[in-house]
Amino acid sequence: MSDTNGTVLVTGGTGFLGGWCIASLLQRGYEVRTTVRDRGREQAVRDAVAAAGAADGSRLSVHAADLTSDAGWTDAVAGCRYVLHVASPFPPVQPKDPDELIVPARDGALRVLGAALDAGVERVVMTSSIAAIRSDRESSTSAPYTEADWTDGDDSSGTPYVRSKTLAEQAAWEHVRAAGAEARLATINPGAIIGPALNDDHSYSLQAIQRLVDGMPAAPRLGFTFVDVRDVADLHILAMTDPAAGAQRFIATDEFLWMAEVAAVLRERLGDAARKVPTRTAPNLLIRAMAIFDPSVRSVIGDLGKRSWFSSEKARSTLGWTPRPVGDSIEECARSLL
């Protein structure tokens, strides 16, 4: 396919979603640029994109730029028609100082957005999260969270990650409103992203599947609203090109499953390869005790036993988005990790 579509910048090319976005764009015939903090990671990006099935990497170029610095962004966006701002910090352990996450997420989004608007980019699609949507009100099957809901980013009881996603997205919308350029921004708010891993650099959502496959003693009473990484990449591209997506947020979620239900899918689909997957559910008290010693467990304590409902109807009806069955995503994710 020839390049009739223009050039797209994807920030965060070393990430799980970034890699799939790059591959999806290349498969659709776009010229693609991506940014990395360290040029030494270029080969890792190319290997991941090849693993995603984009055999021809000749239309991919790699630029050095960091969310914490102005350097490199003007060159990275020059001549681009679209920008997918996917890069955002997501540490395995929440920092004690929330600003360690909030500042690079918020300031980085404003750097990318400012450079893109100055360069005449037609649309920026920014990856946010359902973390920025889960407001104080109770959700239910009849009244799920929608794009009209917002998390309180100033609530200091929220985790640094939740606050960083919320404040970064709010800052982006404030920036385009002030610039009179709202139609040039769209945001995607995905749930827990799973699917085929491209390398050994696993996101937090993939680690949840990995721990089940590796044989944790029992599944915690935690649940996630899952979505396939390939479907999230597709939604970014739909929002990038569809005029109806301008100035809009889109929730990207499919189905909520408890970890015990994920474990059941793994046992059903993987057979002997799932022999270590736990069959029991861990008492909340045990998980709370583990959190004393394991900082990575500590950040999810507040979600034990809690379920939230989100509606992705807007993405489906406005953009024609159709995510694949979550059971297929869980199976393919696990097989890639194995």
In terms of Cβ atoms closer than 10 Å to its own Cβ (0-12, 13-18, 19+), residue 314 is: middle
Write the pLDDT tens digit of every residue in 132-145: 999 889 999 999 99
Q: Which residue has the tokens 């301008």?
A: 246
Q: Percentage of the chain surpassing pLDDT 70?
A: 97
Give yes or no: 314 in active site: no
- CA distances to 149, 162, 241, 299 from 106, in Å: 19, 12, 25, 21
Per-residue pLDDT band at 90 (split at 50, 70, 90):
low
For residue 4, the model assigns a pLDDT of: 59
User: Which residues partner with 8 through β-bridges?
Assistant: 32, 82
User: What is the C-alpha to C-alpha distance for residues 108 and 67, in angstroms, rounded to an integer?
Assistant: 4
Residue (of 165, 202, 197) closest to 85 by Cα position: 165
Q: Which residue has the tokens 């969270």?
A: 145
Whether the pLDDT of residue 1 is over 60: the answer is no
Cα of first residue to Cα of last residue in the chain, in angstroms, is 34
Q: What share of the chain is helix, strand, coil (3-state, %, to 5)?
A: 45, 15, 40
Write the pLDDT tens digit of every residue in 63-83: 999 999 999 999 999 999 999
Per DSSP, 133 falls in state T
User: What is the C-alpha to C-alpha distance for residues 83 and 90, in angstroms, rounded to an integer?
Assistant: 20
Write the pLDDT tens digit of every residue in 253-289: 999 999 999 999 999 999 999 999 999 998 888 878 8
Annotated catalytic residue within 96, 165, 276, 314: 165
Residue 65 in contact with residue 76, Cβ under 8 Å? yes
Residue (of 302, 300, 191, 298) closest to 254 by Cα position: 191
The values of phi and psi at residue 63, to 5°, are: -120, 150
User: What is the C-alpha to C-alpha distance for residues 335 and 107, in angstroms, rounded to an integer?
Assistant: 37
